[in-house]
Structure 1
């Protein structure tokens, strides 16, 4: 019976679908990035996203204000840190150093997420988790680099920027799981965009980038905001509500899988044999992990039992006096 309940509750597969949608963003983002500042593009996306979620934003802010201080801080960090600042740091890493360093350090994101999940959420990994984690990380490395055994690290500045972005993305996965315990998934999504937009209003002028883009770019920004933005994150946070952060971070490896597929089959890029091997390894391990957690009685990730809600006077049984 418990296996059936887990199969219904676990949504690792939904995290993978949402992450796959992010892989399509390069089709629109790459041409825009060649003409305009990346931070301005991200600001334009967030403006559209805030407008799209405005019908639920007031309710989201009310729920946020009534939530615990941990949840309120978590949503601010998700929006300002994981959505706005991380993307900015990642972009600056490319501008200040070589193109390899930020990609190398981004591969640390799953490991950082595991540490955050253990420290913040109390999730514990059983030894069998290594059977999925190790191949997934190896496959991601081979997929990312045409020469996986000849990867160079540049100067300290881009390394620190790339590491900061990876840490913020990993922290966002864990804090999203934390916030989902108190807030509805659509409220977490709306708050992410709202706090991200407020943060970008500070970041973009500080970088000397324009706050607005030409009107000709808005149809592409709208496409970016709708599919890899709004739809993907609604599915992501809906899935994250029932998926431990430790599993979700590996399901997010569907993102580089999709990006690689888009590059090969749509943008006519080529992959080296080692990259194809990495593609297959990551795909197989993500599917295997999702299947294992849905069907096996003893999962690879142990999630702590939820803390029971405090008893209220209405719920406390009273002794009847006779």
Structure 2
């Protein structure tokens, strides 16, 4: 009998909680420097940190299927470089809607992509967790959940673009894990992202220089929301269907709310506290259900290598 492989939805939630810490360092940087410069230096530090694994990762992806090669390019260029730049730009805009809306759209986009790309099938019980999680995330995001307006088309486009790119990263990361290890995928994501940022900076003539005073924030940003979170995330994604993973990622705005309270003195309203409770209950409930139920909500092989047969 084959050994039972444990679902790691809980580990995705833990990784996403590290992303929620990014406001501690990304916010001050984005107010002072171009978003592209902040993300470039963040990626440069990350590439240095993963450089011992990069050559081996390139060899592995070179031997992988065309599907995996394309997945790595989209993840590195889109989900890492471009999406992070859009997210950082939202802080510069000072627009509270952008980073919140993208989190509400991401699960919906990712679930659709998972069904098309990975063939994941959702049982009705998935809605028991998805719908409350989205409602809770909306309540958490806005002090007045019934008085939300999108003030500019630019902010809306940033939100939709980042949501689509991060959702694609979740699904394609799951697909690529069928052939690549989590260390391979982490190194390639940052490597491809760095090259992409250099190309964008050259094409747009964006200055990349930052002051020495930015170094501590960039280093901390790269270490925790960057490297630690991505290692945990890709380690988990090999054993977690994308439809579950994208819901667990709502731990991101949950952690961001806690950071806002503790670090920036934010004072959530009653409906925001209700949103915190609902999101937390939904994410934890999904993880427990998928671990213990004989009929999990997502009908898909737990292991990525079983979900996709490598295709050349």
User: Do they fold alike, i.e. is TM over 0.5?
Assistant: yes
What do the CA deviations read for 1:153-205 (whole angstroms, capped 9, x no partner)? 23444323321111011000000000001000010000000010011112234
Compared CA separation, residues 66 and 309, structure 1 to 2 (3 A): closer
- Report the equivalent of 2:236: 239
- What SS does structure 1 have at the residue aligned with 2:21? coil
| CA RMSD between the two structures | 2.1
Give the corresponding residue for 2:296: 299
Structure 1 pair 23–155 and aligned structure 2 pair: CA distance change class (3 A): closer
Q: Distance in 2 between matches of 1:207 and 1:33?
A: 18
* Counterparts of 1:224 and 1:94, CA distance in 2: 15
* Secondary structure, aligned partner of 1:9: coil
Shift of 1:93: 5.9
**Relative to structure 1, is the Cα distance of residues 153 and 307 closer, same or farther in structure 2, using a 3 angstrom cutoff?**
closer
1:159 counterpart residue number? 156
Structure 2 distance, partners of 1:266, 1:276, is 17
Q: How many residues are matched?
A: 307
Other-structure match for 2:256: 259
Q: Point out where structure 2 has 5 or more consecutive residues left out of the alignment.
A: none
Q: CA deviation at 1:217?
A: 1.7
Aligned pairs for 1:175-254 (under 5 A) are 175-254=172-251
Structure 1 length-normalised TM: 0.89
Q: d(CA) in 1 for partners of 2:15 and 2:184?
A: 17
Structure 1 gap segments, 5+ residues each: 311-322
CA–CA distance in structure 1, aligned partners of residues 225 and 152 of structure 2 = 32
- Measured against aligned partners, the alpha-carbon deviations of 1:280-321 in whole angstroms (never above 9, x if no partner) come to 0000010000000001111000005546689xxxxxxxxxxx
- Give the drift of 1:215: 2.5
Tell me how far apart the structure 1 counterparts of residues 227 and 221 of structure 2 sit (CA, whole Å).
9
Say whether residues 1:274 and 2:277 are aligned partners.
no
Q: SS of 2:264's equivalent?
A: coil
The 1:105–1:16 alpha-carbon spacing in structure 2 relative to 1, beyond 3 Å, is: closer
Could you tell me how far apart the structure 1 residues matched to 2:100 and 2:268 are? 17
Contact map agreement 2:178 2:308 (CA 8 A) in 1: no
Larger radius of gyration between Structure 1 and Structure 2: 1
Deviations 1:238-260 (A, max 9, x none): 00000000000011111111111
